[in-house]
Amino acid sequence: DGGITQSPKYLFRKEGQNVTLSCEQNLNHDAMYWYRQDPGQGLRLIYYSQIVNDFQKGDIAEGYSVSREKKESFPLTVTSAQKNPTAFYLCASSPSGGPENTIYFGEGSWLTVV
C-alpha cells in the first residue's frame, strides 16, 4: 500500500544523545516535511525539502538536522542541542511544492527524554 512510514513509533532519548527518526514514502512525492507537535498544540514546521539533495529550515530548526539523499527518505536527527525534544513528530509529503499543495502525513513518532 502507498503511504508514509515513520519509525519508531516510540523512542526514548537520554540526555546528551542524538536520535534519528526515520521517514519513508512510496508515493513518489517530491516534497517532504517534518513537523513537531506538543500536547494540545498545533504543528510547527522543523524542516522541509522540495527536491532531493535540497532542504530548507522551517520555523523551529535549531537543534535538528535532516538529509534528503533519496526521494523517498527524509530522516530527522534530534541532536543534543535541542533542549526540550519531548514531543510528537510528524513526517509528511506532498506531490510538489506548488499551489493547492495537499499534504499527506505519517502516523507520527513519540520522542521522550528520560
Partner 1 sequence: SQQGEEDPQALSIQEGENATMNCSYKTSINNLQWYRQNSGRGLVHLILIRSNEREKHSGRLRVTLDTSKKSSSLLITASRAADTASYFCATDGVETSGSRLTFGEGTQLTVNP
Question: Residue type at 72?
Answer: E
- For residue 105, what are the β-bridge partners? 92
CB 70, CB 7: distance < 8 Å: no
Q: Does 44 sit near partner 1 (CB under 8 A)?
A: yes
Q: Does 35 sit near partner 1 (CB under 8 A)?
A: yes
Q: Does 85 sit near partner 1 (CB under 8 A)?
A: no
- The window from 20-28, 39-47, 70-78, 79-87 that contacts partner 1 (CB under 8 A) reads 39-47
Q: Measuring CA to CA, which residue among 86, 78, 92 is closest to residue 5?
A: 92
Q: Does 1 sit near partner 1 (CB under 8 A)?
A: no
> Whose grid coordinates read 525539502?
49
Residues forming contacts to partner 1 in the complex (CB under 8 A) are 4, 31, 33, 35, 40-45, 48, 50, 56, 58-59, 88, 90, 92, 96-108, 110
